[in-house]
Structure 1
Amino acid sequence: MQKDSGPLMPLHYFGFGYAALVATGGIIGYAKAGSVPSLAAGLFFGGLAGLGAYQLSQDPRNVWVFLATSGTLAGIMGMRFYNSGKFMPAGLIAGASLLMVAKVGISLLSSPHP
């Protein structure tokens, strides 16, 4: 007899899409400019965002890895966008990161507390 594991949580599609965007940005930075730091940072932060999205899929209250990753990227890339004025890639990642922080923050504040 199969044991009931309870209701399955839906995948956090926005989170996984965000993680893919960050990792892809690092890969493109390496491919276009040969920037190893862009590749390393993109894969590192993309991996952390993917881990955070997976954790959100398992437990919607487990937001801390995803929130810290997107918040850090929002700050770093926001400063780069402010200093350079170039939308690509800093403005895009800063904007996406701010949207992720807002989405997770709103869902955290609106969820019932145990």
Structure 2
Amino acid sequence: MAWSMSQKLTIAYAGLLGVGGLMGYVKSGSSMSLISGGLSASVLCYVHTQLPTNPTFASSVGLGISAVLLFAMGARFKKSGKIFPAGVVSVVSLVMAGGYLHGILRSSHA
């Protein structure tokens, strides 16, 4: 079965977070980056699998992950002013949160 655009974006987002967490660990020894990136990526992989069959639930979980990352990394960007990784993850999380919110609204009207 072909993936929907939501699934493609979700798996790309999961990949970004997973690789970012691994990079944070390798570059600065941050086990928190590894754990949070890996956990976020794992949950988003689950969201990816649930989008076709349970879009409202999956989009709600994705929205939760995106919102947490938006606020956490947004605060980190505001504090450090560093575009990468905090600024990039904040912007991507904002876009994904909007996409998941759209999915929730669309599914509730179907």
> TM-score scaled by structure 1?
0.83
| Larger helix share, 1 or 2 | 2
Q: Identify the match of residue 46 of structure 1 among 41, 45, 57.
A: 41
Equivalent pairs, count: 107
Structure 1: runs of 5+ lacking an equivalent:
1-7
Give 1 or 2 for the bigger CA radius of gyration.
1
Q: Is the 8 A contact 2:60 2:101 kept in 1?
A: no
> TM-score scaled by structure 2?
0.86
Q: Deviations over 1:2-28 (max 9, x none)?
A: xxxxxx673411001001100100000
- What corresponds to 2:3 in structure 1? 10
- What corresponds to 1:57 in structure 2? 52
Q: Is the 8 A contact 2:56 2:108 kept in 1?
A: no
Query: Aligned-pair RMSD on alpha carbons?
Result: 1.8
- The alpha carbon displacement at 1:112 in A equals 5.3
Q: Percent identity?
A: 34
- What corresponds to 1:4 in structure 2? none
